Chains A and B, each alone.
Chain A
Amino acid sequence: MAKALFVLTLWLCTSLSTLAATPPKKPPTWGELASEQQRILAPLSDDWDNFEPQRKRNWIGIAKRYPNMKPDEQARVQRRMQAWAKLTPKERDAARARYKKMEKLPQQRKEGLKGQWEEYNRLPEQERRKLGSTPRKPSAAAPKVKPPATASPEQTAPPEVAPAPGPDR
């Protein structure tokens, strides 16, 4: 009995240490991605191999959701992917935090956000600056993207960023 327990414990300990010591499966390099994944994540092809493992997993997860997205959502992902990836981790975290905050708004207000964004962009540049607005990254507004074949109809979609002409853009 004691011997069996000892063996069990030993086995538990060794399996635990190997579990703790072995890093999780290495995510694929660009070349190792399935062709379907490459097609979806094409805008990231140049930067992919520099991504840290967790980011690769994140993008692979998004690529998995991609086929279930509506065509206009797929087009948005294609347009925004590169800009999102080019942001610094801090900027992405801040954006996620703002998204979470906006998600908590009542439905009615959430629906009005697009209109409010457009309204905000109609404010004079100086006023927006006063509120803390910083010059936007041009890449976030209009990234140059090679969209996948299936996304071609959405290529003609209007630019997603509301017009905000200003010397800093």
Chain B
Amino acid sequence: MNEQQIAYRIKQCLNRGLELDAGKLVRLKAAREQALARQRVESRIPVLAWAGNIIGKSGGPSALVPRVLLPMAVLILGLIAINHWRDSQLAAEIEEIDAAVLTGDLPLDAYLDKGFDAWLKHSSY
């Protein structure tokens, strides 16, 4: 007999009418209130379940830190690090080129002259 069938039986008995003493009534009332209180807690769960995959079903809000904030912080740190690295790479490349242009055999004008560029291309650049 499953839960639903028990509930159906109880309902039928109750419909027929019960004569209960005061002690049983008090215990029943207490049990009902307990059940209602539990239901209130459970009713909140679907709301949490919406974000259940992110926050975690068992951990509740305390799981927010390891499952959301920490990875997010690591991700941001990673992005900032990549950005710094890219900037420094670019700066290093510019410094390298500038040093080569300033020390090289060719004068600055050779790099500035569009005509020379075109002429080199023309003569099988």
Contact = CB atoms under 8 A, between A and B. Distances in A.
Interface of A: 2, 5-6, 8-9, 12-13, 16, 19-20, 54, 57-58, 61-62, 65, 69, 73, 76-77, 80-81, 83-84, 87, 91-92, 94-96, 98-103, 105, 113-114, 116-117, 120, 123, 128-134, 136-137, 140-141, 160-162
Interface string B77-88: 100100000000
A2 B119 contact: no
Given A76-B103, A77-B103, A140 B74 contact: no
A113 B100 CA distance: 15
Contacts of B100: 99, 103
Contacts of A160: 107-108
Contact residues of A: prevailing secondary structure = helix
Interface residues of B, number: 42
A61 B109 contact: no
Nearest to A80: B102
Nearest to B73: A12
A120 B115 contact: yes
Given A2-B65, A9-B65, A95-B112, A62 B97 contact: no
12 contacts: A6-B65, A12-B70, A12-B73, A13-B69, A16-B77, A58-B94, A69-B103, A81-B102, A116-B119, A132-B118, A133-B116, A140-B109
Nearest to A128: B115
Interface of B: 62-63, 65-66, 69-70, 73-74, 76-77, 80, 91-92, 94-95, 97-120, 122-123, 125
Contacts of B108: 80, 83-84, 95, 140, 160-161
Contacts of A83: 108
Contacts of B113: 120, 128, 133-134, 136
A163 B41 CA distance: 91
Contact of A5 (B70, B91, B107): B70
A99 B91 contact: no
A131 B65 contact: no
B73 A84 contact: no
A160 B107 CA distance: 6
A62 B100 CA distance: 10
A117 B102 contact: no
B109 A132 contact: no
Contacts of A96: 94, 97-98, 101, 111
B116 to A, nearest CB: 5
B122 A99 contact: no
B119 A98 contact: no
B90 to A, nearest CB: 10
Nearest to A162: B107
A102 B102 CA distance: 15
